[in-house]
Structure 1
Amino acid sequence: MTQSDFTIDRRTVLSSITGATLVGLAGCTSSRDDSTGSNGTASDGTGDSGPLKQVSVEGLQLVVELTADAEVEHLNVISPNGELFDSQELSQGVSRAAFELGTSYTPGEYRVLALRGEDEIGSSVLAIEPDLQIVEVGIGANHLERFPEELTFKDQQALVTVENRGTGPDAITRLLFKGDVPGPTTDYETGDVSGIWGPDANNQRGVDAVAITADSEETIFSISLPFSFAADNGIDCKSTPQSGSFRVVVQSQIDGKTTASRRIEYSESDRYDGCDTTISD
């Protein structure tokens, strides 16, 4: 993707370069296993786990591994609301099963039931829930070497690193900048504009979503130009230094809205776009 279709003038806002039967539920009142899995990390299930060797989240899947001598014919996964989330019949000798979570599941506790016939022979509970945190915000002008080559206005764009400290995957769907920046992205708050760059993204709307798995981080790049002084709805440089604050907002399908505040300083300049800009926590 290139941005050669865009031009910048002093008073043009560049807002974008911008049901199923529940088999074996009679055992659902058995004692819970409070262990928690993560991306590729096994839960240390004990208690009544029986033939369930480990239950974990790997990428976008819930993965169940069975003991070597397991005689499990069926696996049921029960969602946090008590309804059947998914089910699999297992052939003899199968020791691993995967259930697709994706990025639109209901967060909470999932119970995995191991069945032989209609008898429950083991169960395990796993909390699956993302927890997104913004850990870095950078001005493109200060991180040019980290930006994709396809971006033309790197110095005016932003990078944001998001960390998923939870136990389940999520998908980032929107990136906003509010407050004392040269180009606030208030126009992106509604509609189908994500404001996030991607190699195959529409150069006006951005990508639909960026998946982020548990216990991982993703650095995303803005399609909008929050640090462009060509916008007429933000900060201009002045003959005296200025300081203020702004907020970065990341929206996701499951965790909702995550925000981070940063301080911003502008040096003095005789030109409206000639000052140096720095940000800090």
Structure 2
Amino acid sequence: MSVAGCLNDNGGSGTPGDGTTSPDGKGPLTRITIEGTALVVELSEEADVDQVNLIQPNGELFGKRDVAAGAQQVSFEIGTAYAPGEYRVLALKGEETVVETTTELRPEIQIQDVGLYRNNPDKPWDEVYGESETDRIKNGEAFVTVENTGSGPEAITELIFSGDVPNPIENPRGSGMHETDRVVVSPGETADLFSNSFPFGTETEDGMGCSPDGNSGQFTVIVETRVGGNQVSSTYNVQYTGSDDMTDCEVTITEV
């Protein structure tokens, strides 16, 4: 579970933290968290409210939830098509606002790692690509680990490898990810993206391959995001050595 904002005892929004409230919190709203792609508003036992409204950054109503007698939480499914920014949470009794607070929903994707089957055999390669006697597909694909360090859920919609890889493709078919068009990453979570564009497979005219004496270069991993609407990239040094063929090439990848 990751936290979009904590509430203090005067109903204001605290900084993102571990999801715990202040010990002396007395307001009807005790905590706001993100669980998966839902925003969850927790209420105190003494809360005398019958409705919670969520207001978007543009001032329009995102949704409203009735609070049943004795209920201590309501949730809003925000998905991965919401507008990032500051949201207002209003607790109402009848038509009167009892308390109002704000919480920031803004994803932040960072690329943490990239690797190949030959260097990272413990990843679930067979589960993703299926078992094979030759391992040809697994040897040519790659995984990319991303982390969402922000405060809102995000969806990765495309994975691209460019630069000095054997098979650079700037515009892969589909998403560039194996058998999916998006991968959802909630705040505080990491996810492995598995390629389907065969970036480390057979060398193409524009690519860099292996040689017994070694070839060195740089390649860039790019992921496209849906909520943020931007591209996140990370560049790596790479060396291919020990063979004329990529199937038994020694590949060393290091951060720039």
Question: TM (normalized to structure 2)?
Answer: 0.84
Query: Counterpart amino acid of 1:196?
Result: M
Q: What pairs with 1:40-79 in structure 2 (closer than 5 Å)?
A: 41-42=18-19, 44=21, 50-79=27-56
The separation in 1 between residues aligned to 2:54 and 2:227, in whole angstroms, is 19
Residue 137 in 1 paired to residue 114 in 2? yes
Q: Does the 8 Å contact 2:117/2:125 carry over to 1? A: no
Residue number in structure 2 paired with 1:124:
101
Residue 260 in 1 paired to residue 234 in 2? yes
- Equivalences, count: 237
Query: Counterpart amino acid of 2:204?
Result: A
Structure 1 residue 253 displacement after superposition? 0.7
Query: Counterpart amino acid of 1:193?
Result: G
State the Cα deviation string for residues 216-238 of structure 1 (Å, max 9, x = none).
10011111211113433311334
Residue number in structure 2 paired with 1:193:
174
Is the alpha carbon distance of 1:267 and 1:221 closer, same or farther for their aligned partners in structure 2, counting shifts above 3 Å?
same
Structure 1 residue 276 displacement after superposition? 2.1
State the Cα deviation string for residues 2-44 of structure 1 (Å, max 9, x = none).
xxxxxxxxxxxxxxxxxxxxxxxxxxxxx98242447xx5374
Q: CA RMSD in A?
A: 2.4
Query: Counterpart amino acid of 2:14?
Result: S
Unaligned stretches of 5+ in structure 2?
A: 1-9
**Identity in percent:** 36
Question: TM (normalized to structure 1)?
Answer: 0.77
Structure 1 residue 239 displacement after superposition? 5.4
The separation in 2 between residues aligned to 1:123 and 1:113, in whole angstroms, is 4
Residue number in structure 2 paired with 1:93:
70
Higher relative contact order (CA 8 A, sep 6+): 1
Structure 1 residue 165 displacement after superposition? 0.5
State the Cα deviation string for residues 168-223 of structure 1 (Å, max 9, x = none).
111111100000111112232xxx611112xxx2xxxxx11111111010011111
SS of the residue corresponding to residue 142 of structure 1 reads coil
Q: Does the 8 Å contact 1:167/1:214 carry over to 2? A: yes
Q: Does the 8 Å contact 1:182/1:236 carry over to 2? A: yes
Query: Counterpart amino acid of 2:171?
Result: D
SS of the residue corresponding to residue 122 of structure 2 reads helix
